[in-house]
Structure 1
Amino acid sequence: MNVLIPIPTYGFDPTEAAIPWQYLTTHHVSVTFATPAGTPAAADARLLTGKGFGPFKQLLMADKAARTAYQQMIQSSAFTHPLSYDNIDSADFSALLLPGGHDKAIKEYLESSILRQQIVNFFAEDKLVGAICHGTVAAARAIDPQTHQSVLANFRTTSLLKIQELGAYYLTCLWLGTYYRTYPQTVADEVQASLTDASRQYRHGHHPFTRDTADKTNTSLVTVDQNYVSARWPGDAHRFAQVFYDQLINQ
């Protein structure tokens, strides 16, 4: 089994990439990273240091478990020798995992036409696809040329909730400006717009501000629909990793 994790050159969420990476590799699953130019990437530094979060530092930055996993991940050979987006061949992989991040630099990832086509390929081949937080935007923007709809059009999904995105923005906008607003449109609005019936397909869940841990995942929301797994935010990352792995070994 080999899982592909595409990320931008800079700005991905360390929790959403490193916690799944750690879980998968611990369970003997091979992971390959891909970046736009095939050069090593770096996560959003603010999420690792908490710099600029002021009194909300502990609430908003990556927790200790995620920071530890990230330091392990960036030392791995897979991370230091990524593929470039245009060298991805979906036939080489069992599954695709799409992390998120909200620093403006992540637009390189979310707006890549090359990556969108690769996402379409994974869905067309009925391979497992996982998306968390802004990773669901990458999936929502992948348009199937056969249907002219998003690959998510007929799937159940969740995403970063509006209350989560706007909550973080209003907590920090006085000194961080639009740091938490990657785009004027919220993630939830864009993902819901890609669905055939948002009222039926979109999932909100409970506990939007409680982070899960490896041992306690009852606050998480992870949706599974056929070969697609989604989660809302870094606080769902442990459960997301577990469910993604379970789907992977059973597909």
Structure 2
Amino acid sequence: MSFSTKKILIPIPDRDFDTTEVSIPWKALTARGYEVVFSTETGQVGQTDPLLLTGVLFGKLGAKPEAIEAYRQLVKSDRFKHPIPYHEIQPTDYELLILPGGHAKGMRQYLESQMLQTKVLEFMKNDQLVAAICHGTIVLARTRDPETGKSVLYGRKVTALTQTLERTAYYLTAWKHGDYYRTYPEYVEEEVIHALQNPHDFQRGQASWKPFCLEDGNLITARYPLDAHVFADALLKRLAEPK
């Protein structure tokens, strides 16, 4: 497979995507000269989860100042202001697909899109570079190969938002924000594990406070915003490899 330009694709929902998981990789990639294309379901301009800009609880648990500043730059970019609809995605136009996360309810539009899953399947069948962080791994878990009836994650080693992280955030904030941190009744880790060949194929990293990123062939996954920098570094390293 050959590519005429070095383009990267980042699908997002219309609202509630994670500020850090989108803006930090975007900043790293564009700084190296890559063209980052955004896609939403209908071509509407996406918006981040507003609580991540102000702080979820007493000004805490939101995006770090560095990520917020990157987001402020991101929303001014032409590609972000003119996303393509999911149905117009042509996988072979891109060197890399990035599936970011987010936990507020607006994410369901993106996490449940059958059209997006169809495009993701093409990326995976083409053995193109695919990356997911946090809830983004759910998109992969839900993408099934019609030839096998199994998720494209079956037989792969991956990571995603861990149950410990998701549960802790929920318990800390439920008194004020209810189920804000629970996108679905089932934890992200539980759903992803159900898609795997072996539960041990889900990797949690040494500790939640230590940045972690996992590579398995064409697949790169990470857990949550703390991992965003090592995630972006891994993407840059893989993109720089000879085709």
TM-score bin (small chain): over 0.9
Output the CA distance in 2 between the equivalents of 1:226 and 1:33: 24
After TM superposition, the structure 1 = structure 2 runs for residues 217-232 of structure 1, keeping only pairs within 5 Å, are 219-232=210-223
The aligned residue for residue 206 of structure 1 is 206
The aligned residue for residue 19 of structure 2 is 14
The aligned residue for residue 145 of structure 1 is 146
Partner-residue secondary structure (3-state), 1:5: strand
The aligned residue for residue 87 of structure 2 is 86
After TM superposition, the structure 1 = structure 2 runs for residues 121-200 of structure 1, keeping only pairs within 5 Å, are 121-199=122-200
Output the CA distance in 2 between the equivalents of 1:28 and 1:169: 38
The aligned residue for residue 213 of structure 1 is none
Residue type matched to 2:57 in 1? F
The aligned residue for residue 3 of structure 2 is none
Output the CA distance in 1 between the equivalents of 2:239 and 2:158: 18
Output the CA distance in 2 between the equivalents of 1:23 and 1:175: 34
The aligned residue for residue 32 of structure 1 is 37
Residue type matched to 1:45 in 2? P
Between the two proteins, the alignment pairs up a number of residues equal to 237
Partner-residue secondary structure (3-state), 1:155: coil
Output the CA distance in 1 between the equivalents of 2:77 and 2:14: 16
CA displacement, residues 188-232 of structure 1 (integer Å, 9 cap, x when unaligned): 000011000121x11111331x3xxxxxxxx21100000000000
Q: Is 1:48 matched with 2:53?
A: yes
Partner-residue secondary structure (3-state), 1:101: coil
RMSD: 0.9
Partner-residue secondary structure (3-state), 2:130: strand
Residue type matched to 1:202 in 2? F
CA displacement, residues 28-57 of structure 1 (integer Å, 9 cap, x when unaligned): 11110000110111000001111x513xx3
CA displacement, residues 3-44 of structure 1 (integer Å, 9 cap, x when unaligned): 100000000001000000000000111110000110111000
Deviation at 1:110, TM superposition (A): 0.2
Deviation at 1:144, TM superposition (A): 0.9
Output the CA distance in 1 between the equivalents of 2:145 and 2:239: 23
Residue type matched to 1:77 in 2? D
Deviation at 1:120, TM superposition (A): 0.4
Q: Which runs of 4+ in 1 moved over 2 A?
A: none
Q: Is 1:4 matched with 2:5?
A: no
Partner-residue secondary structure (3-state), 2:220: strand
Partner-residue secondary structure (3-state), 1:32: strand
Partner-residue secondary structure (3-state), 2:239: helix
Deviation at 1:94, TM superposition (A): 1.1
Mark the runs of 5 or more structure 2 residues left unpaired by the alignment.
1-5
The aligned residue for residue 243 of structure 1 is 234
CA displacement, residues 110-145 of structure 1 (integer Å, 9 cap, x when unaligned): 000000011100000010000000000011100011
Output the CA distance in 2 between the equivalents of 1:234 and 1:76: 22
Deviation at 1:248, TM superposition (A): 1.9
Residue type matched to 1:233 in 2? Y
Residue identity (%): 41
Mark the runs of 5 or more structure 1 residues left unpaired by the alignment.
211-218
TM-score normalised according to structure 2 size: 0.96
Residue type matched to 2:182 in 1? R
